[in-house]
Amino acid sequence: MNKENIADIKVGAPPLRITRARAKALGTLRGQVQKPPRPEPSRFLRANSKRVASDDNKIAAPTGSLWKKSKATLADVTNVLCEQSHVACFNVGRFQNSKQLKKGPTKKNVKVTPTVPKGMLNHQDDVKERIAEDVSKLTVKPQHVNSSYIAIIPGENHGEHKFQENVQLQPISECTREQQVVPGPLQKGEKNENARDSNNLSIIDIDFNQKDPLMCGLYASDIYEHKRVTELNQRPSYGYMENMQRDVTPSMRGILVDWLIEVSEEYKLVPDTLYLTVNLIDRYLSRNYMEKQKLQLLGVTCMLIASKYEEMCAPQVEDFCYITANTYSKEEVLLMERKVLNFLCFQLSVPTIKTFLRRYIYAAQATYKAPSVELEFLANYLAELTLVEYSFLKFLPSLISASAVFLARWTLDQSAHPWNPTLEHYTGYKTNELKVTVTAMQDLQLNVSKSTLNAIREKYRNEKFNGVANMSTPESVQCLF
């Protein structure tokens, strides 16, 4: 170090470059040296405006104790917790505001160990003792029930019901789902022990099995109430043959549906596909004029749409073209598919006769000790007979389903009345409301009109359906109303 460096420092002019000699001199004259100005940020930026450490930064940045540090370095960042601190936080009181610590400079190598005052622990014990005393004062009286089911008396309106008097509810702890017995078919002269009679009114709970997710016991009643509203909004308009169609007649529609039943059997489609197909045909014909040459094209197109919606493995477009002996090309089918879907606004989730029939058959089986297969086959047979008849469009799908169950029970057993409070409760229809529909359905069963459309009759004459198409009731149902 020479004398020129010391002279420059004493003058106080800020040096442009700090050498080792100058830094050493600054260290000896610490009390006399002023703080040099901080370099501008532009010196530390590269051309691409990224803050990257470089050799220039290392040289330009001063070292030693020339500049004071803006923040102290954290010496210890470990969290030291007291064993009882978390207990005091949750159990001391409902809302206790903790005192905020004042901010101050952190000291190096200093550990803070929070402590819990003794008063808080004593207060905690007092709270526990008071809670224990309050719990000991609570007493719950168990309730008992005479049977597993609750009798509900239907009111004048279909949606209103009132509970029968002197009925005690059973708590969940005492009435478990495993203790309830699934009802089955009764023999003649026997009564169901699970149903409680009161003035010849007994309703059996068919939604008690809430453990099976497929049964949807908690939501089944709400779901079918919603479907009863939906069937009013999305039903085809009755009378469209007279108002809209000039080329198509009810007999042509019956021939088309009868042929589609054979197609569904050929491709082994589920019944829901057939019911949805007929629904789509009627809804489209209700608002669109159709020539009779294109009626079969509309039929196969609606079955293609229904297959895509209901089937796991739907037939291809070429299969429906082949079933029509290639009368229509693939392009014509796809064009008609776009027309139908655009007109329906893709509203394919509609309740059909099959939707309500499953529910009503299940309610009808509740009074039996074992499920009756013939009742299920016969009810489905009677419901499918109505698909061919144009006159049944004036009835709601739920009404047709209830009438099919009514007539099926009467066909199998004429010793008792086919309608009971359970069916009346879950269908929402009384006996007198089914008179017109049941009478017209019995005419179809007896084939009073001598119809030649026998696709459904041939289908249910098969042994896999126990030949229910051969069953009939010689006695008229008029005596039941």
Residue indicated by tokens 């000790």: 369
**Contact (CB, 8 A) for 346 and 354:** no
Same domain? For 288 and 362 the reply is no
**Contact (CB, 8 A) for 297 and 333:** yes
Structure-token pair, residue 476: 């008229």
Same domain? For 311 and 386 the reply is no
Tell me whether residue 19 is in a domain. Answer: yes
Same domain? For 383 and 458 the reply is yes
Structure-token pair, residue 415: 């010793």
Tell me whether residue 183 is in a domain. Answer: no
Same domain? For 393 and 443 the reply is yes
Tell me whether residue 294 is in a domain. Answer: yes
Same domain? For 340 and 369 the reply is no
Give the domain CATH number at 322. 1.10.472.10
Same domain? For 335 and 369 the reply is no
Structure-token pair, residue 182: 């699934």
Give the model's pLDDT for residue 462.
Answer: 93
Same domain? For 371 and 330 the reply is no
Examine the fold and report which residue of 313, 344, 375 is the final residue of a domain before the chain moves on. Answer: 344
For the chain, percent of residues with pLDDT exceeding 70: 58
Tell me whether residue 110 is in a domain. Answer: no
Give the model's pLDDT for residue 287.
Answer: 94
Same domain? For 381 and 429 the reply is yes
Structure-token pair, residue 437: 């529909």
* Res. 473: pLDDT tops 90: no
Same domain? For 330 and 423 the reply is no
- Give the side-chain half-sphere CA count within 13 A for 330: 4
Tell me whether residue 136 is in a domain. Answer: no
Give the model's pLDDT for residue 284.
Answer: 96
Tell me whether residue 218 is in a domain. Answer: no
Question: pLDDT digit string (tens) for 107-142?
Answer: 444 444 444 455 555 556 666 666 666 645 554 444
CA distance 135 to 89: 23
Same domain? For 256 and 290 the reply is yes
Question: pLDDT digit string (tens) for 305-364?
Answer: 999 999 999 999 999 999 999 999 999 999 999 999 999 999 999 999 999 999 999 999
Total domains in the fold of the chain: 3
Same domain? For 309 and 383 the reply is no
CA distance 404 to 160: 24
Same domain? For 304 and 358 the reply is no
Amino acid at 217: G
* Res. 377: pLDDT tops 70: yes
Task: Place 369 in a pLDDT band, splitting at 50, 70 and 90.
Answer: confident
Tell me whether residue 399 is in a domain. Answer: yes
Tell me whether residue 135 is in a domain. Answer: no
Examine the fold and report which residue of 25, 42, 60 is the final residue of a domain before the chain moves on. Answer: 60
**Contact (CB, 8 A) for 195 and 183:** yes
Give the model's pLDDT for residue 9.
Answer: 47
What is the span of the domain harbouring residue 243?
235-344
* Res. 60: pLDDT tops 60: no
